[in-house]
Chains A and B, each alone.
Chain A
């Protein structure tokens, strides 16, 4: 029998590990809400 490996699993192994405390940059727009969301 041939066992298939999940694609997601492969992708996980290929990922470059992110440094501890890494925060992804916020999307450039729209900006932050100062008071409340309408």
Chain B
């Protein structure tokens, strides 16, 4: 038996809107730790890792570890039917072939339940060890989204370079080139507007902007985004989910042939 009650149901709506176009089908794993997902896009270039810790739910019951295969597009369709202020409850029976999403309005005058069929998905779980990154950039998530969107009008790839001077986003295309440099800025009044650059070693990596733009659909989840870079690793773009966990996107770099 699984029963997860999330007062801030809009979080789950936002998570689904962030990942549904990147990943078609995925297994949601439920354990005592929390509700999690790891999935790759169909070309295995990008990976999504979601964790919603059990403590973040108003009620969390998971009698035994459960893996539920879902079509994310269909799940997003159902969650779209929840109001932004609704309380969302996810229910499933052990060994059952469906999952129920229950939506309660804040004053309990409307209760809806949507039942969705589960599917069998071959799990392709990658082991991702904790890593020390050569450079970590924390910046406003809206600024990161703006940069990715702007650069994708000029070129297909972005070179992200971190040096002592700051972080540079560059692209080139048929019409010309573009460079955007952000410097560390901790002097702002609001912490969510700060840009913080921690650099051990200068690093420069090239990524497909199409994926970066897809990741920025998670912008409504967090005011800040963390971009972790190492020359020998995929980049990690992380959106923290208020006191509950995170949504991380991993993207493999492009290299010169």
B partners with A: no
